[in-house]
Amino acid sequence: VQLQASGGGQVQAGGSLRLSCAASGRIFTINALGWYRQAPGKERELVARITSGGATSYGDSVNGRFTISRGVPKNTAYLQMNNVKPEDTAVYYCHADQLGYYNDRGDPINARDYWGQGAQVTVSS
């Protein structure tokens, strides 16, 4: 099972960026996909989250600027980042909540928290 993040990079303040998170493997369920971020010297924080039913939640600092959506297939999530600010600079981590998958032996496994690799986002002023 893998959470593949893509779309990070450098952007100027006021610009836009789109991140993608694709979950692959022998997955049979994902309760929610989301993004967290961590800036140097700061704790990891929620950016946005979307459930299998389409319910969304956002961190206060990005609400109104960022939009999370599910793709087709639903094991993909997108984070549209608009009007970015220098304080949005961080490593963005894709996260799956309650990810159910089959291991190599075919046993069902339920991972409460499953993390992908980070994607660096740098916003210049």
pLDDT tens digits, 50-83: 999 999 999 999 999 999 999 877 799 999 999 9
6, 119 contact by CB (below 8 A)? yes
Q: What is the pLDDT of residues 15-42, one digit of tens each?
A: 999 999 999 999 999 999 999 999 999 9
What DSSP assignment string belongs to the chain? -EEEEE--EEEETT--EEEEEEEESSEEEEEEEEEEEE-TTS--EEEEEEETT--EEE-TTTBTTEEEEE-SSTTEEEEEE-S--GGG-EEEEEEEEEEEEE-TTS-EEEEEEEEEEEEEEEEE-
Q: Which residue has the tokens 């459930």?
A: 51
CB 27 within 8 A of CB 96: no
Phi, psi of 87 (to 5 degrees): -70, -5
**Predicted local distance difference test score (pLDDT) of residue 74:** 76
